[in-house]
Amino acid sequence: MIHSHRTEPEPLPAYAHMWNKETAYIVGGGPSLRGFDWSLLKDKHVIAINRAYEAVPNAEVLFWMDDAFFAEHSMGLEHHKAKYKISVSPLFLSNDRSKELGVTLLYWEGLRGLAEDVTKVCTGKNSGYAAINLAFHFGVSKIVLLGYDMCEDTGVSHWHSGYTYNYRPRKLLKYLPWFSNLVGPLKRWNVEVVNACPGSLLDCFPKATLEEVFLE
């Protein structure tokens, strides 16, 4: 028996290239955002990682990779008006609750590099890395990293109150080397990345102060 095979490409996800040539602001959890004026993000394209959804009601994208986070925050995620609520399979295990929320699942392509397939991301073992890959899929020409401290500040690990599930700040140091794998691919695609935390331990991207970023 001869089987016909579909040859036309699958349609691109709706988010693909949606922010073409614009700037994406990715909000992490680092303590440098304590006291930050969140209204500065009011008219920006924002990807909110984990608990950042609580501070940025206008974020268009919510992103996480941990089942424990989803279990603890599914109610808050549900009530947020973000257009896209995105996680990564198989790192995040889809269930009926996630389907109720309309969670979009991307596929895990690997740890290193930049996934160019818009249905996939490389993760670098952490959500901050994967969120950069996700921003790339939106077609942006610039990515501003907020709260990517990758370290504690006098014992404070986040701008928010943290998490009730197991969190180990020492893991941040283990994540650092992975980010350098993004530098070359993003440069080839002419995507600029700015780390808006001068005291960050993440040194592979140029740094700027919050004032410099928002007064451009």
Sequence spans of domains, the chain? 23-31+40-152+165-214
pLDDT at position 154: 65
Query: Cα dihedral sign for 202, 125, 110, 130?
Result: negative
pLDDT at position 7: 39
- Helices and strands, counts by H and E, the chain: 6, 8
Residue 130, both tokens: 């994967």
Low pLDDT (below 50) residues in the chain: 1-10
pTM of the shown model = 0.89
Nearest residue to 115 via CA among 173, 203, 181? 181
pLDDT at position 8: 44
pLDDT at position 47: 98
**Cα Rg, the chain, nearest whole Å:** 17
Q: How far apart are the first and last CA of the chain?
A: 64
Residue position matching structure tokens 């691109």: 12
CA distance 98 to 104: 9
| Beta strands 45-49; 104-110: pairing state | unpaired
Burial environment of residue 50 by CB neighbours within 10 A (0 to 12, 13 to 18, 19 or more)? buried
Strands lying side by side in the sheet with 104-110: 120-122, 104-110, 84-89, 61-63, 45-49, 23-27, 142-146, 192-195
Residue 35, both tokens: 């006291």
pLDDT at position 134: 98
Q: Cα 56–18–89 angle (5° rounding)?
A: 75
